Amino acid sequence: MELIRVSPENNIYDELSALDKKCVGSDGWSAESFESEVKKNNGIVLCFLDNTNVIALLSGYFAEGEGDITSVAVDENFRRKGLAQRLVAEFEKLLPDSTENIFLEVRESNAPAINLYEKCGFEKLSVRKNFYINPRENAVVMIKNCSDKFLKE
Ligand X SMILES: CC(C)(COP(=O)(O)OP(=O)(O)OC[C@H]1O[C@@H](n2cnc3c(N)ncnc32)[C@H](O)[C@@H]1OP(=O)(O)O)[C@@H](O)C(=O)NCCC(=O)NCCS
Residues lying near ligand X in the complex (CB under 6 A) are found at 23-24, 72-74, 79-85, 106, 110-113, 115-116, 119
| Closest approach of ligand X to the CB of residue 147, in Å | 24
Nearer to ligand X, 6 or 84 (CB): 84
Nearer to ligand X, 22 or 149 (CB): 22
| Closest approach of ligand X to the CB of residue 127, in Å | 15
Distance CA 101, CA 65 (A): 7
Distance CA 69, CA 119 (A): 15
Nearer to ligand X, 97 or 142 (CB): 142
| Closest approach of ligand X to the CB of residue 78, in Å | 7
| Closest approach of ligand X to the CB of residue 52, in Å | 20
Q: How many CB atoms lie within 10 A of CB 101?
A: 14
Nearer to ligand X, 98 or 115 (CB): 115
| Closest approach of ligand X to the CB of residue 142, in Å | 9
Distance CA 145, CA 147 (A): 6
Tell me the β-bridge partners of 132.
137
Nearer to ligand X, 134 or 147 (CB): 134
**Helical H segments across the chain, by residue range:** 13-24, 31-39, 83-94, 111-119
Distance CA 88, CA 56 (A): 11
Distance CA 59, CA 84 (A): 11
